[in-house]
Structure 1
């Protein structure tokens, strides 16, 4: 390129010299001296023209080559500065190249930040063109649609999501200035989703942003809240109705010999209400982390023996035997909290054991954990009820006629969690129920800890 431009400059100079020579011939005539002067002058003019155009030609060639590399994506392009007028071209190119590189870096940073926000979101998010073709989606959306990133990009939303409600929502948002929202049931599992399609102004290929929020947990919590209110109301209504009936009977007049029995019945119902309120308060404190734990080294065997002794009257009345095994282990925990855990599990086992039945309590070494197992010979827990046995107020159909308010196992679960442990329930058909508590040897609880014993 530089040689071609310089050669053109030399040719222009030579042509100019030839024109001058021809004019001279026309005016003065021709001779060998004139011819020699013409040849020497033309050669000198060509050399001067070539030299004059060499630097600009070289600058243009260098800039052209660097611009080609810049167009191919090689952003860090700089050309050497040239003196004279050619330097203006090289300096302007270097300034433009630097600004383009800065602009691309800024775009790359913005894209990386945006992608990080998308990827960090647990809600599925999809960016779509106006024709509903997918331009971007985060991993949560990939998992929800059961596809891959490569397979989804560039395809219409209806082909990937396979849901006409979502597709219609996105199309409505694409033709409107306002966002569109709807609650839909998605997929074969009918997962409840809150779908929000938001138009993106001046977003280029991104015309609509679709955000899908899973409402499963929200609906579950709402159901738990309703069940809690219903269960509390039921548990309060029964003893209050009994107390009212007993008081009205006393007011209507009864045989004086029967009055002590009525008083005892009223006291039993009051005790039942007191137990319910206390357990609700305890459960609330445990769940909120307000419980104060005093971790200390506890021999598991001593704690099991103490819990069994507290139930001695009930076990003797029912003819139930508690058998302790492998209780020579110790761990670091709050003594009163762990006593309540074991006591509640034993109380539950006694309630369901048949007359003359046996209950096994065992402690096992599992490395960093100590496993405490309580197993009974009762009727067991129906398979469909196993996932819910630790819910507050939950009672299986067989348990509804029995005593208790359904908070004991819920308290067990939250006390164990406060110690950084886990509790599970198993019930093989015809083999009773087995509850296993696993606690770390060293206290790693999350509730407030009071140092010292």
Structure 2
């Protein structure tokens, strides 16, 4: 009996020692979990700090903010590398280690892209567009932070006093621990009381602060404890402060965006063109006051209605080529069709009044969808002026050219029939007057030709020709003019088959080549060449003449524009204008490359496809 207590105590000691080993093993696990949780908390703090630096750089766009972001990026990379090394050293979950590694690197990579972005931070529209564009950064930040939070929750669960391993340990001890439980009840009650007053109370503060943060209320005072819970609470307050600052910045940005939107709307309302915004489904979403006034409809009568009500047949015609085409495809086709020139058509107002108009379309992205804006210009006045211009040219053709031709013929007749009775001075005066009349007739002819080209009154006679033949004919025609001016003509031809109006393109080359000869000094060289490009053929004429100032290089293709020269070698100022009209009717382009004193190179590019 005396030994019985000893035997019982010995058995109890052996059992306790056996399970103590398990407890020590569990304690090591708990310690590792705490260290892991502490490192996760530090990594979360670094995440929020890095995120704040990114937001600060986006809002400030200053060199100082960029340097802070670069330095923080270096620090964050080191912390992430240290945390990954810790997980590998402690042999934590390999899959989770790789997930955190990948997500952290993705987050840092997306953040590093921001420091290379430069834009006007004072322009709210640019800021908004930049913010909307950073979907990769927001996605990476969300995924990375969520992974850390989930890992922290898992780790915190293993440090809980109610962890399942301890419950299993107590269950295994069973009856053997009854005596120990009885002896330690008082101590346990004391510990429970302390725990309830300490840790549980702190956890309740954290929980209450979380609720307050979600409700937008002020947080309770920070905990005074220096343990892990106190550190988490301190970081929680820092996070709340950062979120409040971000919310304030967002509020300011929202106010700026609203103000900018109001200014943009005011600008749109002041534009002279009528604007109609159309959705991808072809429905009217907005119109400006000019559109409402032009069509005579109230905005409420059009919003949400098909755009065909204002632009009858446009969407249908655009989709005719593909019967399965959706309104968005038809609108995209209209954007492409009107990129170079608007569509001319007749619209109808609410009063069934016909409105001649030019319409072009532009597309823009808004709220993850594409919007289309129809820009409508009322060309009633333009049509009226065109009618007046046609009447004027008809008058020029009939009432001016015919009398001048009669005058020229009369002078020629006098010169032929009265040559023997007139003095040399009178004959010279007659010849000069006849030449002046001829120049007037030629100017009227060129003016009428130019007008015909502008109005599309010249039908193109497309023929399949060889570029080499066309160049050779042009050179042969003007070789005598070049010899008289002591100018050398050279051909550098890459032959190609081209579909064009042979006579009109020949006229363009004649004009360019004769101009080059006329303005080239004696003993210089003029080169006419052709080059086959990807989808066009380029013809060019290069000279060694006086060159053209950059301020004149666009204007020389306008009617009656002449460059002032000391040698007075000038024409009517219509030749290059006619050349431009001919080339553009072929769907091509014309231009000049020149520097004063270094000659000029006139070029034209014609589509190589057969028409």
TM-score of the aligned structures, taking structure 2 as reference length: 0.35
TM-score, normalization: structure 1? 0.45
User: Does 1 or 2 have the higher relative contact order (CA < 8 Å, sep 6+)?
Assistant: 1
The structure that is helix-richer by fraction is 2
